[in-house]
Structure 1
Amino acid sequence: MTEARTSVRVALRSVVPGAAMIAVTFGLARYGYGLLLPEMQADLGIDPRAVGLIASGAYVSYLVGNTAVVWLIGRFGPRPPIALAAISAAVGMVAIASADGPGTLALGVVVAGAAGGLAFPPYADVVAREVPAAHRAVSWSAISSGTGWGVAMAGPVAIAFGSSWRVAWLVFAGLAVVIGIIATRAAPARRAGGGGLQPPRLSWSWLVCPRSRPLLLSAVLVGAGSSVWWAFSVDALRAAGLGETEARIAYAVCGVAGIAASATGVLTNRIGLRRGYLVGCVALVVAIMLPGVAASQLAAALVGMALFGVAYNGVVAGQGLWNATVFGERPSAGLAAVNTALTLGMIGGPSVAGLVIHSYGYPAAFLGAAAAVAAGAFFAPPRPADESGSARAAIVCKQPCHCHP
């Protein structure tokens, strides 16, 4: 009994600060842009095409942070990247609050967007090395669901301050400072095993081989589809006739529902990673379609928002668990590779959607986004019986990679 309690305490020391950091860097710094978009558009004079380009810029900076974090973790351990993530989130959100035009808004969004890339991968190593094996699936799902906590916090703040979007961003920045300090102090000072480790060479052959290719392809497609929802869902609801408060309540519902994704680890343990991932992708397809086909109906909007919150966070958690089976020797480097693929999809999604919305309207953009996620479902984790296929994959690989280090 004592050993079990100790294991749970160790897991909680990783889960609570980890979920809080993901809440700040994703739920606020990264996705708060879509929540507060209508007021920023009105005050700063930006059209859907510029909105999409700015959102894509945030994903580019996320990609830069996601690439740099592999070296930072290998050299210094998880603590410095987590601290840098909090600084990036806070500075970027203060810059957004101070924006006086599209250019300065874009700068703030880009700086804030890098925070998620710095914050997420370190926790793959933290969970793998600090959390007992029996609690890893649930712990990782709980950390991934931090996005839902952040969105759940962002909605009420946006409602409370109404059209004062600058004040809302300053509140978000203050939360980033407080949570960043707590999470940095809680993170391990160094990697397990003492001094810094040389990160793996992120060559094409290391990242992409028969075993990792389905994971990376699925991540690209899921990223392309889900990014459209994050950038334009509130805007679509407002354009369809829902009021400001109704649209933000719906967004907050997404966050609250996303918290339920922390239970996906339990589901995965029961039905398996493959089935759980497929269920999540199907639910995500339906959730993305709803703002396009039924945005004017509040009940449908609430259902769609809730479904997206659970499904998106569940799919991202599933990718993290899948990553651990593919890149087991360096989970943080593997997760950086997966996040890179996810972000490559997210870079193109909002820009293309902005053009589609400008020419054809919101329904066409959201239906296209749903189709991208549906295509991603075709690349799913292998069946348990196929796990031994990693040995066959090693024979197929032409160069050294994670299949046979």
Structure 2
Amino acid sequence: MPWGAAVIAVTYGLARYGFGLHLPRFRAEFGLSSAAAGGIAAGGYLAYCLAALLGRRWAARGRARSALWLAAGTAAAGSLLVAAAWSAPALTAGVLVAGTGAGAATPALVAAVAATVPPAAGPRAQAVVNSGTGAGVVVGGLLVLAVPEAWRAAWAGFAMAAVLATWGADRSTRWAAAGDGGRRSRLRVRELARPLVAATVAGAGCAGVWTFGRDLLADPGGLADGTTGLLWCVLGAAGLLGGISGDLVQRVGLRAAWAGAAAGTAVATVLLAVLPGVPWAAGVALAVFGCGFVVLSGVLIAWGAQVVPAAAAQAAAVLFTGLTVGQAAGSLVLGLVAGGAGARTAFVVAAGLLLAAATVTERAAGSVSRPAAAAGRPR
């Protein structure tokens, strides 16, 4: 599903996480404080949640194709508004709308993969599509390297890419008939209580790097724009390795895969806090974080499918909503911590949240942690 990965690349790696990539430029042009930046990021994450809930409902009713085009429309419209932003409120509105698209993309593409790919290849295909985030981050970083001043043109390009990628994904999917499986795919959210807690706490911890990572490299790290753009490419390229999450779950089980990825991202976050001005150290930290984050999100898809195999798309929407609610709360809290105690302290707090997520999951995932169970069909 290369087109599915392209949709994730645009909606997540560019339209959603592009705010953190361009935050130094936005701060300079619109006078944003750390607290204001955190608030804008949090608003974008909450808009994502609304779209994820709608996408979940549509997927349950056999309308995943409509959810896919909702993702494209909001990502494109929001990106165009960012490109044209004339004030901080206009920028905020654009970020809110652009961040919405990714929420509908996940349940739509989980359903698309289930309808198109043979069941035995499902876990690997889902992981590969999910790793598209890394590709989008790489593209965003390369644009910053090549044309650092042209952020408006870049966001206009994001809008065009969202429509093109979605058209390709739509054309390559064997969609189920509308209304198909609504009765068979009902989901009770309480079934996902444990992974939902783990996802929410992990999301709060991951918000540090996604929202303030490049800002930390620039100040207090003191690294030049070109260097930080290159390091952002490293983060994205490492995220492509997150496509191994499907195989990883089959080999070591859900519990070990989640706990290992959460611990790895925590260590990476601390390393970035300690040595933000040392390029090689920052590169290692961002590489570990990028791979770890995509593995975390891929494991969430597998975990939800394991718990409720008849409602995998809905489960993915619920768990990604939890991840994003955590990111919204984390952006707000870490922005306040950064404004009061400094960015490095905020990153240490973020690392603590990631370690807490690993601990919660070790206890919570015990019933589905065996590799043999994880290798079962997710649908």
Residue 25 of structure 1 corresponds to 11
Q: Distance in 1 between matches of 2:369 and 2:345?
A: 40
Of the candidates 29, 53, 61, which is equivalent to residue 75 of structure 1?
61
If the length of structure 1 is used for normalisation, what is the TM-score?
A: 0.86
Residues 17-76 of structure 1, C-alpha deviation per residue, up to 9 Å, x if partnerless? 211111010000000111111111111111111101000000110010011112222335
Of the candidates 358, 368, 390, which is equivalent to residue 339 of structure 2?
358
Deviation at 1:201, TM superposition (A): 6.8
Q: Distance in 1 between matches of 2:326 and 2:248?
A: 27
Deviation at 1:191, TM superposition (A): 4.4
Q: Distance in 2 between matches of 1:353 and 1:361?
A: 10
Amino acid at match of 1:186: S
Change (3 A) 1:191 1:370: farther
Conserved 8 A contact 2:249-2:371:
no
Change (3 A) 1:388 1:164: closer
State the superposition RMSD in angstroms.
2.1
1:132 matches 2:132: no
Residue 9 of structure 1 corresponds to none
Deviation at 1:385, TM superposition (A): 7.5
Residue 197 of structure 1 corresponds to 182
Q: Distance in 1 between matches of 2:72 and 2:44?
A: 16
Higher-Rg structure is 1
Amino acid at match of 1:329: A
Q: Distance in 1 between matches of 2:369 and 2:128?
A: 27
Deviation at 1:290, TM superposition (A): 2.1
Amino acid at match of 1:232: F
Residue 214 of structure 1 corresponds to 194
Deviation at 1:256, TM superposition (A): 0.7
Q: Distance in 2 between matches of 1:385 and 1:71?
A: 28
Change (3 A) 1:384 1:46: closer
Residue 169 of structure 2 corresponds to 183
Q: Distance in 1 between matches of 2:369 and 2:282?
A: 40
Deviation at 1:299, TM superposition (A): 0.6
Residues 229-266 of structure 1, C-alpha deviation per residue, up to 9 Å, x if partnerless? 10000000000110011011000111111111112222
Residue 377 of structure 2 corresponds to none
Amino acid at match of 2:366: P
Of the candidates 130, 140, 152, which is equivalent to residue 138 of structure 2?
152
Amino acid at match of 1:114: T
Deviation at 1:157, TM superposition (A): 1.1
Q: Distance in 2 between matches of 1:387 and 1:181?
A: 36
Amino acid at match of 1:207: V
Deviation at 1:269, TM superposition (A): 2.1
- Match of 1:363, SS state, is helix
Structure 1 alignment gaps of length 5 or more: 1-14, 390-405
Superposed counterparts of 1:2-401, under 5 Å: 15-191=1-177, 195=180, 197=182, 206-209=188-191, 212-239=192-219, 240-380=221-361, 381-382=365-366
Q: Distance in 2 between matches of 1:184 and 1:200?
A: 22
Q: Distance in 2 between matches of 1:384 and 1:320?
A: 13
Deviation at 1:330, TM superposition (A): 0.8
Conserved 8 A contact 1:78-1:187:
no
Q: Distance in 1 between matches of 2:238 and 2:371?
A: 32
Percentage of pairs with the same residue: 34
Residues 266-317 of structure 1, C-alpha deviation per residue, up to 9 Å, x if partnerless? 2222222222222111111111222211101111110011111110001110
Conserved 8 A contact 2:60-2:186:
no
- Match of 1:377, SS state, is helix
Q: Distance in 2 between matches of 1:328 and 1:152?
A: 33
Bigger shift: 159-168 or 60-69? 159-168
- Match of 2:360, SS state, is coil
- Match of 1:26, SS state, is helix
Change (3 A) 1:37 1:388: closer
Change (3 A) 1:355 1:130: same
Conserved 8 A contact 2:199-2:326:
yes
Amino acid at match of 1:183: A
Residue 8 of structure 1 corresponds to none
Q: Distance in 1 between matches of 2:14 and 2:314?
A: 25
Bigger shift: 104-113 or 325-334? 325-334
If the length of structure 2 is used for normalisation, what is the TM-score?
A: 0.92
- Match of 1:187, SS state, is coil
Change (3 A) 1:199 1:367: farther
Conserved 8 A contact 1:80-1:184:
no
- Match of 1:242, SS state, is coil
Conserved 8 A contact 1:77-1:196:
no
Deviation at 1:213, TM superposition (A): 2.2
Q: Distance in 1 between matches of 2:184 and 2:349?
A: 38
Structure 2 alignment gaps of length 5 or more: 374-379
Conserved 8 A contact 1:70-1:199:
no
Conserved 8 A contact 2:255-2:369:
no
Q: Distance in 2 between matches of 1:384 and 1:88?
A: 36
